[in-house]
Amino acid sequence: MAKKFTDLAFTLVNELAYNSCPLENQEYRRNSQMMVIRPVKMDDLEDIVGLAAKTGTGLTTLPHNEAHLKRKIQDSIDAFNKTEGNPSDECYLFILEDTESQQVVGTSGIVAAVGSTQPFYTYKLNTEVHYSKSLNIYRKLNFLTLTNDFTDASEICTLFLSPDFRGGGNGILLSKCRFLFMAQHPKRFGDRVVAEMRGFSDDNGRSPFWESLGRHFFGIDFDTADKVNGEGNYQFIAELMPYHPVYVPMLTAEAQAAIGKVHAQTRPAVQMLKAEGFRYTGYVDIFDAGPTIEAPITEVNSVKESFELEVNIDDTPAKSATNAMISNTKLKSFRACLAKLEAPMAHKINVNSELADALMLKQGDSVRVRFY
């Protein structure tokens, strides 16, 4: 719902540019410190405020506003504390921690079920056919319909990685760790997962779709509308957005060309998600017409190709190892990281003591692993 750069665009464009080879062929960078994903806690507020100061104007779900961020952290704590039931608008916020400095260097989130308490608006691109027999004229016309079709779907959001820590798989970990968490706790999420991608704008940040449509109804510039929306004020959309279909030929040619088109910086993010199984099905953002892509959660590759194994703590050097993402199977104490692991045997996998400590594991615990 027009939360531009809420996911992936800031981080993955830099991540994938740094790692030009496919993920399956990457060698994860081994620093002296280990990078670990965990749930956010209130003690992280100062670090997250510092992160938010680095996002610029794009990441509307991570505004540089301490009061807002404090509420966001508390909402996440409440989400992790929630007993299982019907998923609602709770947001699970994860952070990437540099374990050596104990500094928070990145964030990513999941909204359990969008539209459950506030409308989640998208435009659906449809086609209708007109034919005049007397004039022998046949016309196909595209039109946009305001919908709430993603109500109860889960949304991945709020991904941002400090520029100082981009590369080496950190952005990939921030993004894909969420799929391991969703695979482990499926009752907390919807059947579908969606991601809103930043739409096309020119070098000056001007959105032709907004200028041709949204500005006429809202009377404010794109950045202002996006900022207000990102801070959780959705009511103005219901009050001002047109509910009648918008016929695409009535828009400027530039705006028509922008429908479903992603910003150049966002293409790597879309490619990564499409490789995970996400698809564009004709839904676009109501502000800049960027594509909203989706997938059944069970069809996301990092969900269906991950599996549980029993832990064997062993510090014997591995003879051969493969890149993997690994997490514990806990809720409030969820941990995940990248590692090089030997192939499992008899449903067991060897992890060394350092990795076991980072993931808060003991002998015989379960982990979820996805090999690449």
Distance CA 343, CA 359 (A): 19
CA distances to 42, 155, 327 from 355, in Å: 25, 30, 10
Both tokens of 217, joined, read: 């109804």
Packing angle of the helix pair 66-81, 45-52 (nearest 10 deg): 130
DSSP string, 149-200: TTTT-EEEEEEEE-GGG-STTHHHHHHHHHHHHHHH-GGGS-SEEEEE--B-
CA distances to 88, 200, 327, 335, 341 from 114, in Å: 7, 24, 25, 25, 36
CB neighbours of residue 268 within 10 Å: 20
Both tokens of 141, joined, read: 């016309």
DSSP string, 57-111: TS-TTS-S-HHHHHHHHHHHHHHHHPPSSS--S-EEEEEEEETTTTEEEEEEEEE
Q: Which residues are bridge partners to 125 per DSSP?
A: 144
- The yes-or-no answer on residue 347 being catalytic is no
Active-site residue, from 216, 244, 263, 347: 263
User: 165 and 98 in contact (C-beta within 8 Å)?
Assistant: yes
Residue 296, amino acid: P
CA distances to 50, 93, 185, 224, 331 from 305, in Å: 36, 23, 15, 41, 20
Distance CA 79, CA 113 (A): 12
Distance CA 285, CA 300 (A): 22
User: 111 and 152 in contact (C-beta within 8 Å)?
Assistant: no
As annotated, the active-site residues are 263
